[in-house]
Chains A and B, each alone.
Chain A
Amino acid sequence: MTIKHEALDRVVIRFAGDSGDGMQLTGDRFTESSALFGNDLSTFPNFPAEIRAPAGTIAGVSAFQVHISDHDILTPGDSPNVLVAMNPAALKANISDLEQGGILIVNSDSFDDRSLSKAGYETNPLTDDSLKRYSVYEIPMTSLTLEATKDTGAKPRDAERSKNFFALGLISWMYNRPYDETINWINKKYENRETVLQSNLAAYKAGHAFGETAELFASNYTVAPAHFEKGTYTNITGNHATALGVVAAGLLSGMQVLLGTYPITPASDILHELSKLKNFNVKTFQAEDEIAGVGAALGASYGGALGVTTTSGPGVDLKSETLGLAISLELPLLLIDVQRAGPSTGLPTKTEQSDLLLAMYGRHGEAPLPVVAASTPSDCFEAVIEAARIAIKYRTPVILLTDGYLANGAEPWLLPDLTKLQPIEPNFSKEFNHENKDGSKSFYPYIRDPKTLIRQMALPGTPGLEHRIGGLEKSNESGAVSYDPLNHELMVSLRAHKIEGIQDDISDAVVDDPTSDAKILLLGWGSTYGSIAAGVRRLRARDKKVAHVHLRHLNPFPKNLETILKKYETVIVPEINLGQLSKLIRSKYLIDAKSFSKVQGVPFKAVEIEKYVLNFVEEN
């Protein structure tokens, strides 16, 4: 049989298996080799909270979806074209997403009675005709892996664990991924574990050779490199970009960074990355709890460092009292909330946008703070720098919202032009700013810039400027404890106006409305960027006019937002929550914004955005 080579413009592949099967690693490697090959790509890892959920059960299924293309794409794809299912549970949990006629590759060795029953199958789907809508390839990956690795010295139990490399080899052959680069990568990754190295190499090579020689597949495919703007690229996840952004913010401001944090899914990778970067003037501190993490960050800020804390929803709850202190002290602080599905422990590994109102209002007292959101994995880099800029300049805590989808999803990133990164000036005070009645001089910590209302800040170690600050209400200018009613009202209003005034110092919202005459505006924020933009493309392909605005700043909103919103007949706000931004928009601008919500722990599909708008147009 001759194998045909077909060219595809894009393909969506999902690897699914048990949480111990190494699907995330397989997907990551496939992604990395596609990135180096030059495809545009977007990924969506989806895994359970348990490290090793009961083997073979639906609850234990871990999946990694990757979308590769020869053109610019925005999402990890709505429906996979190819599903690799390593066991019956993985098949059962994922088959409904596979496109009709799609390629299904199963590890047939795992379809024994026990595994079928664990997955809840009464009959074997491989024999009962239930999969006839798909092109099914049954491949005994376990036994082929054992056969391929028998000379490596690996015990069968260990050798079997290499079957994900067999799958990787097979799919790499099917889609013509660079061969040698993955071989080199395996050699490097396992260089200190010789048996594992040999076993994985053998399995990878066997999978690749199997595709070539088994005469099972009529064709293999190429997805040509995408046309990218000139420049240097890397493949990056949101958490990694966030960590790099934190380092960059420190270097741009000349401030030492202290990350005070506590491990929590899905934010911990930011800690892992930063803890490696000690020569970049970054210190990391894994505290005893969430509260100590943010407390230490604030203490560092008080001393003139950039205090950063990373967490997810439950941690934000715990840090809220310290945020209030930071608001009262008026000290810089960056809180990065990698949102996950709540309430309570919720779905720790699943994504959600449900902390927006928490970020806005989740503190006692009148306690406003700026809120910034990242919209794609690589955008986390710039979003962090912007959040840090506001925190440092305005001496305020800032919450940056990312989420599980951005954190773990990856995309190619055109490395930024370093000459365009602006320095951040902390402007610490070195001089007295007050003359006492007796003619002596002192430092008043709450003397403000009359326009921006930014307070003066002197660091410990500055001779003569010794002063005390605290969480008790303080007298305007002097900072001395004050119980005066009118002073309290003044301070509450000064703090609020300072945050509102940041509006003058942030970029305008950008409208994507090519013909400028759309009647419907899709207003989004955060990680829905890709889904909304892809949905908008689909609508425009059907000649439906629709505009898209995606917000970077959620508090304060950009100055031009009101004008934009009032220009459109309909404002639709898609969100992975029950309508939190739409509430803010409705209350602030008295606009009948329509909430389109989805709260399933997964992102919107582009088609869902498309359908919602089409239905809306039809019904109105």
Chain B
Amino acid sequence: MTVTTRKDWASDQEVRWCPGCGDYSILAAVQLLMPELGVERENTVFISGIGCAARFPYYMNTYGVHSIHGRAPAFATGLALTRPDLDIWVVTGDGDSLSIGGNHLIHALRRNINIKILMFNNQIYGLTKGQYSPTSEYGKVTKSTPFGSVLSPFNPISLALGAEGTFVARTHDMDRNHMMEMMRRAHLHKGASLIEIYQNCNVFNDGAFSEITSKDKRADNLINLVDGEPIIFGANSDKCVVLDAEQGVRVADRSSVTEDEILIHNSKRQKPAIAFALSKLASGPHEPTPIGVFRDVEQHEYSESLQHQTEDALNKKGSGTIANLLSSLPTWTVN
């Protein structure tokens, strides 16, 4: 194993995101993480679609493909099916993956193919200069919705869980350590993993997440899901999450419940019901919002299952040649 540092993973290309963009901190987190993952640069591939986030592969000193809008999961799926030896990351945004590429995203998750999807969610179209996105809040005023958007947003975590995602997590661009921890766990997961990264677009949607990520609000509005620990938050650790017969889960004052009633987080629950309820705890990033791994379960991985079928066929029939292929047909001979 070659020992590397962050520098080894950075390409020679000048990074061209707007100054102050949240993408820089995500890039730094990835470049810092890679040396510790135990993978070689040549076996690592970053694949993206279109959008600001999609420039990401150009900045990684690995193999990389900047493909077309929404289609990165499809491209990555073909690569993962034929090259299970590679470590494949998909970098996408909320428009790329939830709008034009929605179909590929849900099917990649359902298929549980071995790719890691980093979804940079800034709740806006940045590269096309500021139209509302599938995650923009209702009423959002943008260039294409001067009177306010009249659409409810997608919740990417709920969507991923609904699509049978086996690894679903959320993090944000203001917390490098948390980002790295989520990516580390995604990397350990066999199958498809999705990490939603709340990412600030300081040009077209500045402060979209400041209600929950700014230093003074974090304690009260970020709920850090940690496996095996009771879900407690608040500057004074005075709030918690409990099960609720009507809504699945709800926020409660710790003083109003017994310690036993506080929900213990467990991302390994096979059924996604509680994870889904947690994803719906906040109606948007302006009230107490969970981050962390919502779900992390084992399930048959697609390329491996397909490979097993191939190996079965090889065991039964041997490695085929063109002569075998033709001799298996019903034939007659003319002498």
Contact = CB atoms under 8 A, between A and B. Distances in A.
Interface of A: 32, 35-36, 38, 228-236, 244, 247-248, 251-252, 256, 258, 260, 277-281, 283, 285, 287-289, 291-293, 295-305, 307, 321-322, 324-325, 329, 415-416, 418, 421, 460-472, 480-481
Contacts of B85: 461
B57 interface: yes
A247 B332 contact: no
Contacts of A251: 320-322
A321 B85 CA distance: 28
A483 B109 CA distance: 36
Contacts of A230: 334-335
B62 interface: yes
B71 A295 contact: yes
Nearest to A412: B332
Nearest to A260: B78
B68 interface: yes
A460 B63 contact: yes
B330 A292 contact: no
Given A303-B86, A481-B58, A298 B63 contact: no
Interface stretch (B117-125, B184-192, B266-274, B305-313): B305-313
Contacts of A235: 330
Given A289-B103, A295-B74, A303-B79, 17 more contacts: A229-B334, A230-B334, A251-B322, A277-B325, A278-B312, A285-B78, A287-B107, A292-B77, A295-B71, A298-B75, A299-B47, A300-B78, A302-B78, A321-B68, A321-B71, A416-B326, A460-B43
Contacts, number: 199
B7 interface: no
A497 B312 CA distance: 46
A467 to B, nearest CB: 7
Given A258-B81, A299-B78, A303-B79, A470 B332 contact: no
Q: Quick one: which of A230, A297, A415, A470 has the most chain B CB within 10 A? A: A470
Contacts of A283: 81-82, 306, 310
A233 B313 contact: no
A415 to B, nearest CB: 5
Contact of A460 (B66, B83, B334): B83
Kindly list the 3 A-B residue pairs having the minimum CB-CB distance in the complex, ordered from nearest: A470-B66, A295-B74, A299-B78
A292 B334 contact: no
A277 B43 CA distance: 29
B333 interface: yes
A232 B331 CA distance: 6
Nearest to B329: A234
13 contacts: A32-B330, A234-B332, A236-B329, A283-B306, A285-B77, A291-B71, A292-B74, A293-B74, A300-B81, A303-B78, A303-B86, A461-B83, A481-B13
Interface of B: 11, 13, 40-43, 45, 47, 57-58, 60-68, 71, 73-83, 85-86, 103-104, 107, 306, 309-310, 312-314, 316-326, 329-335
Helix, strand, loop or mixed for chain A's interface? mixed
Contacts of B320: 247, 251, 277, 279-281
A230 B58 CA distance: 59
Given A278-B313, A460-B63, A231 B333 contact: yes
A394 to B, nearest CB: 19
Contacts of A307: 78
B92 to A, nearest CB: 13
A464 B335 CA distance: 57
B103 A228 contact: no
Contact of A233 (B83, B318, B331): B331
Q: Quick one: which of A234, A299, A302 has the most chain B CB within 10 A? A: A299
B74 A464 contact: no
B325 A466 contact: no
A442 B65 CA distance: 17
B130 to A, nearest CB: 21
Contacts of B71: 291-292, 295, 321-322
B66 A468 contact: yes
Nearest to A285: B81
Contacts of A252: 322
Contacts of B11: 468
A461 B322 contact: no
Contact of A287 (B74, B312, B331): B74
A461 B43 contact: yes
A466 B42 contact: yes
Given A281-B320, A299-B76, A460-B83, A325 B67 contact: yes
Contacts of B325: 244, 247-248, 277, 280
Contacts of B309: 278
A460 B45 contact: yes
B77 A296 contact: yes
A335 B314 CA distance: 27
